[in-house]
Amino acid sequence: MGDYGIKVTQPGYDVSTAIPNQLVFSSKYQTLKVFSQGSGTITDSGRTITVAHNLGYVPFFLVHSGTDPVYVADYVDSDDLVINPVARAITGACGISRNIIAYADTSNLYIVAQADFGYDIAWPLCDTAAYRNDNYANEDPTPATGFVEVGKTAADGLNYGAYRFLTVNVAQGTTIAKAIMEIHVGGVNGSNQVKMRIWGINEDNTAEFDTGTFATARGKTTASVDYDFNPSVGSFYQITVTSLVQEILNRAGWVSGNQLGIMLWDNGTTQDGSWYEDEFTSICGTYCANTSLRILESNTLTSYKYTIFLNKAED
């Protein structure tokens, strides 16, 4: 007899047996009162939107993203309304953070496009020895496949390497905002700084490295970038390769879903200094958890709308 009040159900439900998510209204629950509303866009250069409310407590809120996601499972999309103060996190393969999260404290609402949101990400396939030979190449000085090494060692002299990134889903001629190659260092020889010059492999659809012309002997893009660093075992390093990736995407024969190659040459490393990647893992389905290519097609990532309520969620 204690279940008094007013209830209104959605069409097709019996009001006497309806559960809460089948109701449109119930006097049992507190009515939300709007404090403020707004909208805007999130860009790559401003991935965190901070909206001041200064209520002195954590309020309930709604955040509505305008993104039509490519990876539905990895995004908070336009069908998801966030109504709690805790940051939501939906983690995809390899721990990639492709989603938008929203959370509040006693002063502000935060809407955050996480690090990988908006990026198309490609890896070399490496979960078998055959795949490693297809997609990783090294010349030290004898051409070999299955691993990458760059630098200069007393034992081998100069070392050159190459990666073949699979299924790059960017249309021909797309003007991209940014391309980043994130390399993984599996091991280090010596302690000197490694100096590299990086080109794209000038092919519409980069062929496997263990057939035809060897990777480091293939045609190079006109564009190149230099990168000098002191490698540390187990670390990741982000190298901006926008110009050379753009040159490949602009090729008349490029098709979305093609394979894209990048080669790395020594550029004056003092002996002994080199890094290598041959400790491959396969924790991400059929891909590796190490070197990747990340392409951002547009600096404008998504639109958003928010509503902040006067109702208190937490002190």
pLDDT in tens, 83-124: 444 444 444 456 677 778 888 999 999 998 888 888 999 999
34-118+302-314 to CATH, choices 1.10.10, 1.10.287, 2.60.40, 3.30.420: 2.60.40
- Global confidence as pTM: 0.82
Domain limits of the chain? Answer: 1-30, 34-118+302-314, 120-296
Span 281-311, pLDDT tens digits:
655 655 666 899 999 999 999 889 999 999 8
Same topology, domains 34-118+302-314 and 120-296? Answer is no
Which residues does 133 contact at the CB level (< 8 Å), separation at least 6? Answer: 145, 146, 208, 209, 210
pLDDT higher at 251 or 5: 251
Task: Specify the CATH class of 120-296 in words.
Answer: mainly beta
Q: Render pLDDT for 57-86 as a digit per residue (tens, 0 to 9).
A: 999 888 888 764 433 333 343 334 444 444
